[in-house]
Chains A and B, each alone.
Chain A
Amino acid sequence: MNLARQFWALLRMNLSGIPARLGLVITIVIGVTCAVGVLVSMLALGVGARRENMSNASPNRAILTSIDAPSPQQSSISKDIAPMITGLPGIRRNAQGKPIVVFQMFIFIQARSKVDGRQSGFPVIGMSPGLRDYQPELRITAGRMYNPGLHELIASLKCTRLFEDFNVGAKRHLRGGDWVVVGNFDLPSTVCIVFGDADTLLSAIGRNTYNQANLMLESPAAFADVQKALKADPTLHLKVQHEAEIFEQNLQQLNGILSFVSYFIGTIMAIAATIGAANSLYAIVDSRRRELATLRAVGFNSTPIVASIVLESIFLAIPGALIGALVAWLLFNGLLASPLGASFHMAVTPGLALLGLGWALVIGAIAGLLPAVRAARVPVTVALRAT
């Protein structure tokens, strides 16, 4: 009898014995379910945050900041060099033939959270004229656009969901008196975004520098042209980054924490599940000692025995992974989570389910290996004599 046929015969035997050992089998399945379920649910946080944040990044948009600023918040671009930035090559022009460059500034203000009633900070983003050209996907859902020169703001739907006083008509106290929220808009992001007119905001707070300049490129390839032009003129003291890069940078801290925690906890749970599964398989192998010894006595090779038990263990881990991913999907997919001041929908994706399946296969393989080797190594005579 060749090894492959022995292997299939053994595997069929192993699997047909499952109903008789239901308790032990369920233990393996539940252990893997919990480990995979926790891992997938926790990773769904990071995946959701990234999906919501990156969905809006366009390769046609580029951001200029001061060369030494670790983040746009610390960057400053003086109004004097604005004409030089608009004169850079590779910038797309709008219907009126003007280059699409929007200067942006931030100030941070406080708002009362709807969740816990506490004050928390978030940025108000001042934009120089041209927001509509730069972000055509911005969709006003209520009210209207702000007017430059007036104390008017528009707030994203996320703001109205997270904080109080962001509906149309609400007044926000800022420097220079009350600012009226005149519109709400929809734009994918994990945080609340408030837009106003940059120059009006700057004069209200007594500052005269922007934080960054946003460029709409003619094509993604024009990025290199801008880069070259900036290198050629070091007096500008500016660097250019893809929009996606800035988004990624903003996400870095959140994602770093989330994935560290997810994999840390996921690994510990996987170890526990592996140990539990190995123990159950030891018990299964023990209860089949005579049966396995008989098989070897009649000429079955030990390699197929080992392989069949490892494969049985992997087979048992698979339903665990599927149930775990399914439970995570049922409980958490689309759930609004707001850790670390961000707010996004968790996303249990097929990719995550596959990752969970991968972990389960590894758990199954490792857990099955030792019991399988033991099954194949028990001396035949001893095993046959056992009661």
Chain B
Amino acid sequence: MKYLPLIWSGIWRKPGRTALILLQVAVAFALFGVLQGLKSGMDRSVAESRADFLFVGPADFGGAPLPMSYLDRLKSLPGMKEVSFADGFLGTYQKPTQPVFALAIPPGHIWVDAIPTLFQITPKDLDALEKTRDGALITADTGKKYGWHIGDRIPFTSNTLKTDGSGTWSFQIVGYLTDHEPGESGLIVINYSYLDEARAQNKGTVRNFYAIISDPKRAAEMSESIDRLFANSSNETKTASFRENAQQQMRSIGDLDFLIRAIISAVLVALLFSITTMMMQTIRERTPELAVLKTLGFSDRTVFLMVVGEGLLVCIAAAFIGLGLAMGVFPYAGKFIPGLSMPSIVIAFGLVGAVIVALVSAAVPAARAARLPVVDALAGR
């Protein structure tokens, strides 16, 4: 501890140089933080997605929709807690470049308390929707974009035709919902009963079922038994839990781990070289000063430790700054990549990394400083 002032003055001997090293290491650790945060954010979003929440869709996506009669058969399966369903159609508002997706849901409290992972609806808004047959809930974003307000009647054009042969649908806005994935296409929520009654084709069918099971651990087993239930019928199903779907999505991002590791190694190599040469340069310039220290009785070991201490202090401080920077950009980067987060394990990893970088890069310069022959050094040879 008593050497701290010496280490401190050693670090700030050339403030410009130290500041640049600090900055370089900080930038490198900021990159590390963002990359690791990305990865752990993805892991977390998988872990947080619900395993007890099954998505039951047609076995071949794009194939015929599922018959409504499946609802009761699903409900009667042992281990099933709640079942609901959704359907929907694509339309455009005023221009072909303004797509709107209308999601049709049946009434039920399930949308308020069991399925808030998709979107959030308050009981009041849900109530308003149930009361108005051709009502619609909109997101605040879409409302702002198109200037819609509660009470407005909004017309859509769609390929989904109504019984009268027209593709023009109109809904009355009765409330709001909160969408978890703000997309470019506007989402609105409408009544399934109204959609099914008004459409010309596919009456009595749904796009998919949502099944909530009582034991999340049995998700894979339940998915299989659901698909078996409808196997070899004219409408086979494909069931997967939300967690499984999330995992699959993450996997499709593929060689991410490899990529992150490759980038971090490149950063580390550059960093090690940079710090080592800068410290070598520093030691070379400080040869007379170090010689004086040794003349005053500082042992080789102490000099070695002091130089390593300088490296450690700079690297750890820089790592903190860098990881802090990374955390600072997360709210911004979260717009592009949802779920960014930095758990303490990443910070710990970063600090361990900083210590290793400091030890490896300071070792050679420190050894050189320790081995300095006093007489030669004082003589300036």
Which residues of B (258-279) have their CB < 8 Å from a CB of A?
A: 259, 262-263, 266-267, 269-271, 273-274, 277-278
Across the interface, A68 reaches (CB within 8 A) one of B63, B157, B271, namely: B157
Contact B270 A107 (CB under 8 A): no
A160 to chain B, nearest CB (A): 19
B20 within 8 A of A: yes
Binds B, one of A69-77, A181-189, A302-310: A69-77
Which residues on B sit within 8 Å (CB–CB) of A26? Answer: 273, 277
Contact A68 B90 (CB under 8 A): yes
Contact B24 A276 (CB under 8 A): yes
Which residues of B (235-291) have their CB < 8 Å from a CB of A?
A: 236, 238, 248, 251-256, 259, 262-263, 266-267, 269-271, 273-274, 277-278, 280-281, 285
Across the interface, B277 reaches (CB within 8 A) one of A27, A37, A278, namely: A27
Across the interface, B278 reaches (CB within 8 A) one of A268, A272, A283, namely: A283
Secondary structure of the A contact surface, majority rule = helix
Contact B270 A31 (CB under 8 A): yes
**Contact A175 to B270, CB < 8 A, known contacts A120-B248, A282-B17, A340-B254:** no
B246 to chain A, nearest CB (A): 13
Binds B, one of A55-63, A108-116, A311-319: A108-116
Query: CA–CA, A69 to B100, complex, Å?
Result: 10
Across the interface, B267 reaches (CB within 8 A) one of A34, A106, A237, A282, namely: A34
**Contact A272 to B157, CB < 8 A, known contacts A26-B277, A108-B61:** no
B262 to chain A, nearest CB (A): 8
Contact B280 A107 (CB under 8 A): no
Which residues on A sit within 8 Å (CB–CB) of B270? Answer: 30-31, 33-35, 269, 272-273, 276
A112 to chain B, nearest CB (A): 12
A69 to chain B, nearest CB (A): 7
Contact B274 A276 (CB under 8 A): yes
Query: CA–CA, A119 to B223, complex, Å?
Result: 14
Contact A282 B90 (CB under 8 A): no
Contact A271 B63 (CB under 8 A): no
**What 1/0 flags go to A111-145 for Cβ under 8 Å of B?**
00000101111011000000000000000000000
A-B contact count (CB 8 A): 150
Binds A, one of B26-34, B191-199, B351-359: B26-34
**What 1/0 flags go to A173-211 for Cβ under 8 Å of B?**
011000000000000000000000000000001110000
Which residues on B sit within 8 Å (CB–CB) of A106? Answer: 62
Query: CA–CA, A265 to B281, complex, Å?
Result: 29
B23 within 8 A of A: yes
Chain A residue nearest to B95 (CB atoms) is A68
Query: CA–CA, A120 to B251, complex, Å?
Result: 10
**Contact A27 to B17, CB < 8 A, known contacts A67-B96, A207-B64, A340-B252:** no
Among B61, B157, B267, B277, max chain A CB count under 10 A is at: B277
Query: CA–CA, A67 to B267, complex, Å?
Result: 48
Contact A68 B274 (CB under 8 A): no
Chain A residue nearest to B29 (CB atoms) is A272
B158 within 8 A of A: yes
**Contact A174 to B266, CB < 8 A, known contacts A31-B274, A272-B24:** no
Across the interface, A260 reaches (CB within 8 A) one of B60, B255, B277, B336, namely: B336
Contact B60 A68 (CB under 8 A): no
B80 to chain A, nearest CB (A): 23
A304 to chain B, nearest CB (A): 24
B106 within 8 A of A: no
B147 within 8 A of A: no
Query: CA–CA, A33 to B28, complex, Å?
Result: 15
Chain A residue nearest to B92 (CB atoms) is A68
Query: CA–CA, A135 to B269, complex, Å?
Result: 49
Query: CA–CA, A124 to B60, complex, Å?
Result: 10
B234 within 8 A of A: yes
Contact B253 A24 (CB under 8 A): no
Chain B residue nearest to A338 (CB atoms) is B254
Contact B64 A24 (CB under 8 A): no
Which residues of A (214-240) have their CB < 8 Å from a CB of B?
A: 237, 239
**Contact A69 to B60, CB < 8 A, known contacts A23-B281, A34-B270, A276-B274:** no
Chain A residue nearest to B99 (CB atoms) is A70
Contact A271 B62 (CB under 8 A): no
B257 to chain A, nearest CB (A): 11
Among A75, A269, A337, max chain B CB count under 10 A is at: A269
Query: CA–CA, A68 to B96, complex, Å?
Result: 5
Contact A107 B274 (CB under 8 A): no
Contact A37 B266 (CB under 8 A): yes
Contact A339 B254 (CB under 8 A): yes
A366 within 8 A of B: no
A86 within 8 A of B: no
B159 within 8 A of A: yes
Contact B24 A175 (CB under 8 A): no
A156 within 8 A of B: no
Query: CA–CA, A156 to B220, complex, Å?
Result: 31
A53 within 8 A of B: no
Which residues on A sit within 8 Å (CB–CB) of B165? Answer: none
Query: CA–CA, A109 to B60, complex, Å?
Result: 5
Which residues on A sit within 8 Å (CB–CB) of B157? Answer: 68
A109 to chain B, nearest CB (A): 5
**What 1/0 flags go to A284-295 for Cβ under 8 Å of B?**
001100000000
Which residues of A (296-354) have their CB < 8 Å from a CB of B?
A: 337-341
**Contact A275 to B64, CB < 8 A, known contacts A38-B266, A66-B159:** no
Which residues of A (16-34) have their CB < 8 Å from a CB of B?
A: 23-24, 26-27, 30-31, 33-34
A279 within 8 A of B: yes
A-B contact pairs, 19 of them (CB 8 A): A23-B281, A24-B281, A26-B273, A27-B278, A38-B266, A108-B61, A175-B63, A175-B234, A207-B64, A265-B263, A272-B27, A272-B270, A272-B271, A276-B24, A279-B17, A279-B24, A337-B255, A338-B255, A339-B253
Nearest 5 CB-CB pairings of A with B: A108-B61, A34-B270, A275-B24, A68-B92, A339-B254
